[in-house]
Amino acid sequence: MTPFLPYGRQSVTDDDVAAVVAALRSDWLTTGPEVAAFEADISAWAGGAGVATVSNGTAALHVAYAAAGVGPGDEVIVPPMTFVATASSAVALGARVVFADVEEETFTLDPAAVAAATTERTKVVAAVDYAGHPADYDALRTALDGSDALLLADAAHSIGAAYRGRPVGSLADLTTFSFFPTKNLTTAEGGAVATTDPRLLKRARRFRNIGLVREADELRWPDEGGWHQEVHEFGLNYRLPDVLCALGRSQLRRLGAFLARRAELVARYDAALAELPGVLVPGRREWAAPAWHLYPIRVLDGRRREIYERMRAAGIGVQVNYIPAHWHPAFADLGYRRGSCPVSEAFYAQQLSLPLYPGLRDADQDRVIDALAAALRGASLRPAA
């Protein structure tokens, strides 16, 4: 039977398995040497930024917002075209989320919308590198002229990408990564926070470790012995264990190859779909070297759901990424309304992600392309037996 093709899939090798087994057989399952080594490896991809690994991508956002001092009374600007965690993790700290629309073509945060939404209460502006294409960070910095707000890059899709020749991880005050299985490398579950600011890095590492303070020169009470530790500000246990860091280190050695294969597949999609009626291929800016976590096409003429269902019936695991964050009932209950971010909402009505992962063979991709063309023609599609 013809296999189902998911929109994303991890790529795990014998080397990855061996790295995990070695960690399991070591003296450290968590908070050991693999953690620091993985953080150093990520730093090399992030322009030398300091790194704090965490348990998942949502935790990375929560830790980054906490490091930035986000709390009640603060505002955090977020684009709607993102997974809901970019917004909900700020709400968890008591902030008010302000949704600002995205730009046409890249569907990343619009600097003009940021400038219009920024107030004296704005604490953080969170840009999202949608599909792996970096946001326009220089323009976002300009939009924040005169504001004390920090710029955060939600780079869950874009580790290994570059903006005007500079690596993602070095572009914003804080950067968050995700290592979920469908991402550009995986630790099964995991994430990281990167920053070039030592103060923010210290706060991030402390928050992900329950807020524990052990440094002798920072203790508030007399040191009672080698066991002494204090909590000055509450944090959470968001530590990423050595076993998963070992997997991440092994995966990271192949990140360049992963990105190159994704770029090859994107080029093949671009060539095959350029003249296909009824769809638009993803845009990009000349200054960007995307990491291509997703391949998001736009299905025209109101046919997105029809094409989604036809492709799924043919065994092609297309996906929609994402429901605009402000449409979720949790935000609707807080007073957010549809229609407030028209570019994001129009894109959502058309968006469809085609399968994209390093293990996707050319023949599998050809099957996706043929199925899409047939679906657009209205042909009946069923998986081959």
Identify any residues that bridge with 166 across adjacent strands, giving them in sequence order.
163
Q: Which residues contact 34 (CB under 8 A, 6 or more apart)?
A: 23, 28, 242, 243, 245, 246, 249
107, 130 Cβ separation under 8 angstroms: yes
The catalytic residue among 183, 205, 298, 326 is 183
**Exposure string for 338-364, b = 16+ CB within 10 A, e = fewer:** eeebebbbebbebbbbbbbbbebeeeb
Q: Give Cβ neighbours of residue 2 (< 8 Å, ≥ 6 apart).
A: 315, 367, 383, 384, 385
Q: Is 183 a catalytic residue?
A: yes
- The SS3 call for residue 291 is coil
Task: Give the integer Cα–Cα distance in Å for 190 and 241.
Answer: 9
3-state SS, residue 77: strand
CA distance 55 to 208: 9
Question: Dihedral through CA 220, CA 223, CA 224, CA 226, nearest 10?
Answer: 120
Residue 205 burial class via C-beta count within 10 angstroms: exposed 0-12, middle 13-18, buried 19 and up? buried
Active site residue ranges: 183
